[in-house]
């Protein structure tokens, strides 16, 4: 009988070991602040692991980035799909690169909130398209109702810039590196928050202006690595991001609600082009935390 009990315990232990696994995903990027006193966001590539045995989500890179989060400390997970330019600005430093940089790729942001002592901290990963389904499935299996996959209906379409009533408007611009105001909810207005993520840290606050139109007027102006927000009357608007091109969609805005957008940058034949996407509050506010406030003014006509 004693031998049978020992055998049963060993079989049970072996079964538990078999179910615990470590799943690794390579080519994942962590998006983090450049330094303790530098809010600019940079990407570092490394390996993302789901360690079921230790019950931890970990990330490590050759640059020395290391994150280890206990499964039980994770309070929220959001996956949000966006479109981005392949290769970033470095890709178009040569003529062949211009062709490569024009290719757009879809990928998922993997946003995680977790308990860190007395506070809650966020971390953001960029998951390659080829791994996204497996990462989402693994997260859902582990975290259940804590996982949300953003599914917003608005899709940016190309618009002739000349059809925008305010497309010729001119604006002054400065990236405010001191103040960092945050949007607020106003009961009689719709709050529109828009961030133009920098493709590389050194480009923050520089380059082309990216204007956000709300039907007949410009309501926000950004450059790479800056953010803006506006308070609009409720109603249906054609929102469009304009640079060399214009891209946008129609959307109904309601009073007392917040709406979050990204102005993604793509390289055109000679100049930067803009795409507009509606995204989750978590993703946009994470990007906003790593961007400078856009202090823009309309020039007198």
Domains of the chain: which residue ranges? 21-149, 157-298
Whole-prediction pTM: 0.85
Reading the block at residue 227, the tokens are 């953010």
Residue 3 has a pLDDT of 58
Contacts of 274 (CB under 8 A, 6+ apart): 196, 210, 241, 242, 243, 244, 245, 246, 247, 263, 264, 265, 266
CATH level 3 topology of 21-149 = PH-domain like (2.30.29)
The 22-35 sheet, strands edge to edge: 66-70, 56-61, 38-51, 22-35, 119-127, 104-116, 74-85, 147-149
If we measure between CA atoms, which residue out of 151, 149, 171, 167 comes closest to residue 159? Answer: 167
* Coil/strand/helix, residue 58: strand
pLDDT for the residue 134: 96
d(CA 91, CA 93): 6
Q: pLDDT tens, position by position, for the chain (301 residues)?
A: 555 554 554 555 444 444 567 899 999 999 998 877 788 899 999 999 999 999 999 999 998 899 999 999 999 999 998 765 444 433 333 333 333 344 445 668 999 999 999 999 999 999 998 999 999 999 999 999 999 999 998 989 999 999 999 999 999 999 999 999 999 999 999 999 999 998 665 555 567 899 999 999 999 999 999 999 999 999 999 999 999 899 999 999 999 999 999 998 877 665 678 899 999 999 999 999 999 999 999 997 5
Distance CA 115, CA 60 (A): 20
């Amino acid at each position: 009988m004693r031998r049978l009990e020992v055998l049963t315990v060993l079989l049970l232990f072996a079964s538990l070991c078999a179910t615990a696994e470590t799943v690794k995903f390579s080519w994942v990027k962590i998006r983090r602040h450049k330094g303790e006193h530098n809010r600019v966001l940079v990407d570092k590539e490394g390996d993302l692991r789901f360690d079921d045995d230790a019950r931890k989500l970990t990330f490590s890179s050759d640059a020395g980035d290391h994150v280890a989060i206990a499964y039980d400390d994770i309070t929220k997970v959001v996956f949000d799909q966006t479109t981005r330019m392949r290769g970033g600005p470095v890709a178009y430093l040569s003529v062949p690169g211009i062709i490569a940089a024009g290719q757009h790729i879809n990928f998922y942001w993997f946003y995680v909130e977790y308990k860190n002592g007395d506070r809650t901290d966020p971390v953001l990963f960029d998951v390659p398209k080829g791994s996204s389904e497996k990462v989402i499935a693994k997260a859902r299996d582990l975290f259940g109702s804590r996982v949300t996959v953003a599914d917003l209906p608005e899709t940016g379409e190309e618009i002739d810039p000349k059809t925008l009533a305010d497309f010729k408007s001119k604006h002054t611009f400065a990236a405010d590196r001191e103040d960092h105001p945050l949007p607020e909810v106003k009961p009689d207005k719709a709050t529109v928050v828009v961030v133009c993520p920098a493709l590389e840290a050194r480009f923050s606050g520089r380059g082309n202006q990216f204007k956000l139109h709300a039907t007949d007027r410009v309501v926000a102006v950004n450059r790479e690595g800056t953010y803006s927000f506006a308070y609009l009357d409720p109603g249906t608007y054609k929102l469009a991001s304009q640079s060399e091109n214009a891209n946008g969609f129609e959307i109904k805005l309601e009073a007392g609600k917040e709406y979050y957008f990204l102005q993604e940058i793509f390289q055109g034949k000679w100049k930067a082009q803009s795409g507009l996407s509606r995204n989750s509050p978590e993703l946009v506010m994470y990007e906003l935390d790593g961007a400078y406030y856009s202090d823009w003014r309309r020039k007198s006509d």
